[in-house]
């Protein structure tokens, strides 16, 4: 299992005030769950962001973002953000905010 531990620590800091955050090893990397819903994670050095279908195209247009094609087929609503796109704390907070906006539309578990 390979993931950027420095990025993991930064994600933990961004999400530290959220209730019910858990970490799970998934997709060969690390996944952060919020209230039982997959929120974001890390595969190798890339951020895996669950932005949902409504923000999907808009998020793909941002620098360093690309389709998440983990299975060889794009997963709609999920994107990868290369490390250059999360290098600044403000950028990382933006992506986590996109993920949280989607998570808030989901039913409680």
pTM, full prediction = 0.93
Please report the pLDDT score of residue 57 as a whole number. 96
The CATH number given to whatever domain includes residue 18 is 3.90.1150
Would you state the pLDDT for residue 94? Answer: 98
12 in a domain, yes or no? yes
pLDDT digits (tens, 9 = 90+) for 32-60: 999 999 999 999 999 999 999 999 999 99
Tell me how many domains the chain contains: 1
Structural domain containing residue 78: 5-103
Is residue 109 situated within a structural domain?
Answer: no
Residues 6+ apart with CB under 8 A from 104: none
pLDDT in tens, 68-100: 987 788 888 999 999 999 999 999 999 999 999
């Amino acid at each position: 299992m390979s993931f950027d531990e420095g990025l993991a620590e930064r994600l933990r800091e961004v999400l530290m005030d959220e209730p019910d955050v858990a970490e799970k090893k998934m997709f060969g990397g690390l996944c952060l769950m919020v209230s039982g819903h997959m929120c974001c994670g890390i595969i190798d050095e890339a951020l895996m962001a669950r932005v949902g279908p409504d923000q999907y195209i808009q998020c793909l247009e941002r620098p360093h973002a690309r389709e998440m094609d983990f299975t060889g087929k794009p997963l709609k609503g999920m994107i990868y953000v290369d490390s250059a796109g999360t290098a600044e704390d403000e950028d990382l907070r933006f992506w986590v905010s996109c993920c949280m906006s989607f998570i808030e539309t989901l039913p409680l578990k």
